[in-house]
Each structure stands twice: as structure tokens, then as C-alpha cells.
Structure 1
Amino acid sequence: MREGVAIRRDETAEAVRVPDFGVAPAGAVFADAIKRPLLIRVGKQLRGVFDRIIGASSLVSNAPVLDVREFGWTELLRDNWEAIRDEALACEGRSPALASISPDHRAIAPVNKWRSFFLWGYGYSIEENLDRCPVTRSVVAQIPELNSAFFSILAPGTHIPAHRGVTKGLLTCHLGLSVPRDGDARMRVRNRIVRWAEGETLLFDDTYDHEVWNDTPGTRVVLLVQVRRPLRQPGKWVADAFLGIVRRSAFVQEARANVMRWNAAMRAREM
């Protein structure tokens, strides 16, 4: 098995324009933080308590960046990366701005510079998108405890400011698909700088403060996969209960509706 992308301890353009097709206004009710679902807001305030319970129950490392060799399913991603890359690049022009799909990302997602092509979201499959990516569909279907999967596309010159994920009950994996070599595409996870490599995987805990830069003239594309963290009790109960609430929330349901609306608009445009 190949090792994951090299990690280095280091303390230290223009976006591709995609038509909005009216998706953003549908999520405008979330523009104000006060309008976000109550359970999500309360959950984020209690996140520290939840995360301590989950961390104490973790069956794997609680480090910011984990060893991919401890997660056998990451080898399946690496073995199929070229076919997954080809499918991702074929779908690039059909990928909406993340902020128009997930209004909760508006505070950190530069307009039209961070785009996403969703395949799975909080356990919900996007069948129309999966149909366009048969190899990726087959591969992600074999990943245990899958929560979400999407192609994450960063335009040249993009900076995603520091932010944190919603729960320690999830782990995030990036599979490098298209990584420009002229310049520096990197991510800071807590106090570590990591860089993507094509065909390699990077696994990290996104509840640690992290930020991303694409200081290159090219577009960076990765497959982003989120899985449930392996847990014992009581952390498993806490994580499962919280994720169940999030999955049923208006926050997730609105995002699903926005994806469907975007896809319908794309179909109409192509007629």
C-alpha cells in the first residue's frame, strides 16, 4: 500500500464563473446566523462538551491529521484515483458554488471560487450526480460508515479562512485529483501544514481549526469524503444522536433542495 500524502510541520485568479440559475435566493433564509436551525445553533454551542465525550470514546487517534494506513478503505480511493479524476473533471462545469447550495458556508466560501459537486450528503444520495460518475459511485459505496462525498473544486487564488467542522464524530478524507504544481496549494490543520498530491489521500479531523489556500494559477480538485469516526460508548450514542438531528434538520434538507433545483436548472439549460 502506498503511504498517504507527505505532511510537513511548518508553522508558519480568477474564479471559473458558473451561472447561479437562481439557487442562492432559495437559501437566503439562512443568510443570518439567527435564522439557522435552533438545534444546529445549540449544538454548535455545546460542541465542546459533545466533542470531549466523543474524543474520550474514540477507537482511533484524536490527532489533527491521522495515518491513512490505519483506514484500509483509503487504498480503494488511491487505486481508482485516475478514473475518479476523469469523472470529476467531466462534472466540473456542472458544479455550483458551495455557498449557493449550503448557506451555512457563506461566511467562509468565496463567491464562485469554491464549488462542489455533491454525490452524498449526510447519508442522502444524489442519484442524478452519481449516475454521471459510475466509478466514483462504486468506490464510495464500499466505504464503511459513509456520511458525505463530493468533488471539492477551488479556483486559482482562493483562500478559505479558518473554520471548524460541526462534530468530532466525523473524519474527513481528501483524495487528490487535480493539484497544480506551479505555486502552492496547501491546508493548515491546527499547527500543521499539509499539501495534496494527485492520487494520494489525506485524513484529518476537521473540528480542529483549519484553512485552505490555492496560491496557484490552476484549479485544485479533490474528492472529499466524510465518514463516521470509529467509537465506543458513550461517544457513539452522542455522535449518532447528533448526526441524526443534523440529517433531519432544515439545514440539510434545504441544501438537498438546492442541489435538486440546481440540477433541474442545468437540465433546462441543456434542452
Structure 2
Amino acid sequence: MLDGLVLSRTDDQQNDQPIFKLFERAFFSAVQSADCVHVDDGGLQCRDIRGGFDPVRWDQLMNQMWRLVEHAYKHPSLAHALAMSLYSWFWWEGPGSDRVNVVTGRLACDFFATSLNFNNCVDPNLPLQDFFQRNCHMRWRYLLMIASELGRYLAVVRLDMRAARDVLQSAQRYFQAMRQLPAFGPHAGKLASPHDISLNADYFPASVVNQGPIWKNAREQVPIVAFLEDNFPTIQGELLAILADEHRFSLMNQATRNAEPQFGPRDDDWLTAYLVRGAAFNELVCAHAPRTCALLRARPELADCHSGLSGSGFLRMRPGGRLKPHFGGAPRLSAHLALLVPDGEVYMSVGHETTRWVEGEVITFDDTFIHSVTHNGDKPRYVLNVWMCHPCDPTESHGAAGRTIPDYCDGPQHGVLPPDLPAR
């Protein structure tokens, strides 16, 4: 029993949801929107905006986090839950700060490593069935994502080369250990860095190798890309009509957004207005963009894609906004039609590549690589986001009778999922 929770000492996956939910409730009660600045003593001074930030509850949340950290050092069955919670709710130094919390990041790495050992995920002789049932494949990936991104942040932003070297050396040791595990298949030996890791490799390893993080010939290879670009004036026009009403987009965001973990430092860094999810169209939102919804209904990649990971909607990124490094859900493919892109440093990192939006053009990318967004421009950036069933997915017809699998899907098809586990 801990903080009113009944926790397991032997099965750490049983502890994931109760601890995550504990932090989720506490986080959303303490932080919704806040404007924070760094002060001379290195701390944060926060100003409550729209009644969203409660500094007393924030302090309580931090104290609760440290109490659980102490327990996790003594009880490794708590390590994975703490690692995911630290990443999910404490990636930034505080509400409104765009500085990465190096202390909690390093703790998350320590706890992910502890959870790998606790579950015997480092043993190359662990049966594949056990490897996946214990979620070892995702534990390894989150450890490598956090360690590599934290090291890059220390080197590029903090210019702390000594700390960056320590973290990146640890990341490289973890990476080399992961590449030796038979569960990750023959493609693992071709990975040059943690930023080559993709969740889609579990399903379509040849396509991941052939295409990489950002697809280079998507207009020819993915039919919806040319369709979106050809209809750019219509889609942009409906977005502009929505934005003509000062509060309409924010209301659409409230109506369609899920309760997400802390993706950005501020609650309004990233706003969404989803038109469709899992082939189900939101008629209330479509009423504000009827022509865009009509266009999307005509696309089998969305209308006939019943995966809960599919969908489309308008996304807004505020000036100064950030999206922390994360993995998208697999299996799927993503596309952004750039609708309004301000001048300045506005870019997305996907795997080992970086790209910038150009109005009227589509970026097609595999969001199951590590990816993040930085917006240092002076106006909001808007895109139409599309999450579609992957073209290499043989279980999805995409509405085409007798559809053939594209050539870029061909190659050694040994992913990490053993054949006796479901792929979806």
C-alpha cells in the first residue's frame, strides 16, 4: 500500500496504470495553463493565467513524485511506472518552461534500465513470448529515446559537453546491448543510432529500411499526398474561415482533444480540431469545415481505415511552442499538409532528419520514429494532419479491390513480433 494504492512487488505492469493515473489526476488539477519565467536563483516564477495554475498543488505534485522516487529505488517493481510518469509529466522543468528537466530525465533512464533488469529483458535467451508479454521491446525504446534526446539537448541547447558525453555514452551502451537481442531481428544490426528506431519496424521492417523517417517520393508513392496538395486552396480556405472567429478553434479543440500527457510546456502549445478518428467523422466539427470533411470522406486511406490510430484534423502550434520527443502509435503512416507557416525557426525532427513545412506541400513521415517539434516563429503554425493505415498493411484494403502491396514493402519481413502474437 502506497499513497492509497495497492501495488504489486512481482508484476510491475500491474503498477503502471494506478501510478500513471495518480500523477495524471494530480497534474491536471495543478497545471492547465501557466506563464513561467526563470529567476535569478535558477527557479521558476509562475503567473496564473485563466485560473489554470495552482502553485500549491504543483508543489504537492513534486513532493509526491519525490516520495515515489525514493520508494522505487527500494522496490524495483515500481521502476517502470515511475519511469513512464517522469517522462509523461515531468519532461519540462516546470509549467510553462521550455527547458528540459535534466534531473527527472536521468532518473527516468535509471528506472527504465532497472525495469529491464527486473523483467530479465537484457537476457538474449529470454523466450520471445515472454519478451513481448513483458513489454521489453517498448522498455528498450523508451530508454533509448530519453537517453539520446537528453544527451542531444545537453550538447546543443545547454552546451554542457561533459554532461552530454556521460548521457550519450550511456545511451550508446544501451543501444549496443539492444542490437544484440534476437527479438529485434536482423535489421537491428543495421541501425546506426537510437534515432533509427521505429515502431513500424515491428510490422513493416523492409519499408522502414527503404523509406526512412521522412518519405522522399511520397507524391508518387502515396496517393493521398497529391490529392491533399491539389485541394490545398479549399482546405486552407475553410481553416481561414474558422480562424475568422477568435474563439472557434479553441472551442473545437476542447470538443475533440483527448487528455494527453504533457506534450508541451504549456497546455495551449498544441491545439487540435479533429475531423475524423478511426473512420468516424465528428459531425459537429465537420459543420465548420464541410468541404474538407467531404474530401476526406472520399479517401479510403481514412474512410476505410478503422484502426483506432487513424484520423485527421487541424493542428495548431503556438509561437514559442514545443512538442517533446515521442513515438507515434504503430502501425500507421502520417502526413502534414502545411496550411499556415510563419517565418522563423519552425521545424520538426523525425528520427535523424529535420524538416520544415512549406505552405501547400505535404510532409509524409513515419511518426513511429522519435519525433519532436520546435516553434520559434512569431505566428501560429497550422497543418492538416493525417494519420492513415500504412500502405504496406495487408490487413487494410484502403478501399481498393485487389489492391497490391507496393514494391517498397518488399524485403526481409522479419520484424520483432513473433508470429503467434497479434500484429494489431
- Structure 2-normalised TM-score? 0.43
Who is 1:152 aligned against? Answer: 315
Q: 1 or 2, which has the higher helix percentage?
A: 2
Who is 1:86 aligned against? Answer: 237
- The answer to whether the aligner puts 1:223 opposite 2:384 as a matched pair is yes
Percent identity among equivalent residues?
Answer: 25
The structure with the larger Rg is: 2
Who is 1:177 aligned against? Answer: 339
In structure 1, C-alpha distance between the alignment counterparts of 2:386 and 2:136, rounded to whole Å: 25
In structure 2, C-alpha distance between the alignment counterparts of 1:154 and 1:175, rounded to whole Å: 14
CA shift in 2, pair 1:118/1:161, >3 Å: same
Residues 189 and 208 of structure 1 are in contact (CA less than 8 Å); yes or no, is this contact kept in structure 2?
yes
In structure 1, C-alpha distance between the alignment counterparts of 2:208 and 2:366, rounded to whole Å: 14
Cα deviation, 1:193-230, whole Å, max 9, x if unaligned, reads 10001100000000111110111110100000011112
Secondary structure, counterpart of 1:73 in structure 2: helix
Residues 119 and 149 of structure 1 are in contact (CA less than 8 Å); yes or no, is this contact kept in structure 2?
yes
Cα deviation, 1:228-266, whole Å, max 9, x if unaligned, reads 11225598x99xx665xxxxxxxxxxxxxxxxxxxxxxx
Residues 177 and 222 of structure 1 are in contact (CA less than 8 Å); yes or no, is this contact kept in structure 2?
yes
Runs of 5+ unmatched residues, structure 1: 1-13, 21-31, 37-41, 244-271
Equivalent AA in structure 1 for residue 319 of structure 2: P
- The answer to whether the aligner puts 1:63 opposite 2:212 as a matched pair is yes
In structure 1, C-alpha distance between the alignment counterparts of 2:276 and 2:340, rounded to whole Å: 21
In structure 2, C-alpha distance between the alignment counterparts of 1:185 and 1:199, rounded to whole Å: 16
Residues 186 and 194 of structure 1 are in contact (CA less than 8 Å); yes or no, is this contact kept in structure 2?
yes
- The Cα of 1:144 is off from its aligned counterpart by 2.6
- The Cα of 1:164 is off from its aligned counterpart by 1.0
In structure 2, C-alpha distance between the alignment counterparts of 1:44 and 1:198, rounded to whole Å: 40
Secondary structure, counterpart of 2:260 in structure 1: helix
Secondary structure, counterpart of 2:373 in structure 1: strand
Match of 2:201 among 16, 37, 52: 52
In structure 1, C-alpha distance between the alignment counterparts of 2:135 and 2:257, rounded to whole Å: 20
CA shift in 2, pair 1:86/1:233, >3 Å: closer
Who is 1:104 aligned against? Answer: 260
Runs of 5+ unmatched residues, structure 2: 1-34, 36-48, 52-81, 89-132, 142-183, 185-198, 303-309, 396-412
In structure 2, C-alpha distance between the alignment counterparts of 1:109 and 1:242, rounded to whole Å: 34
CA shift in 2, pair 1:134/1:111, >3 Å: same
In structure 2, C-alpha distance between the alignment counterparts of 1:148 and 1:86, rounded to whole Å: 21
Cα deviation, 1:143-192, whole Å, max 9, x if unaligned, reads 2321200100011111111111021x1101000000012x1211111111
Tell me: higher relative CO, structure 1 or 2? Use CA pairs within 8 A at least 6 residues apart: 1
- The answer to whether the aligner puts 1:133 opposite 2:296 as a matched pair is no
Who is 1:203 aligned against? Answer: 364
Match of 1:77 among 205, 209, 228: 228
Residues 319 and 380 of structure 2 are in contact (CA less than 8 Å); yes or no, is this contact kept in structure 1?
yes
Residues 160 and 212 of structure 1 are in contact (CA less than 8 Å); yes or no, is this contact kept in structure 2?
yes
Kindly report the root-mean-square deviation, in angstroms, between the aligned alpha carbons of the 2 structures: 3.6
Residues 275 and 313 of structure 2 are in contact (CA less than 8 Å); yes or no, is this contact kept in structure 1?
yes
- The Cα of 1:106 is off from its aligned counterpart by 2.7
The count of aligned residue pairs is 206
Equivalent AA in structure 1 for residue 274 of structure 2: F
In structure 2, C-alpha distance between the alignment counterparts of 1:52 and 1:207, rounded to whole Å: 9
- The Cα of 1:52 is off from its aligned counterpart by 3.4
Who is 1:161 aligned against? Answer: 324
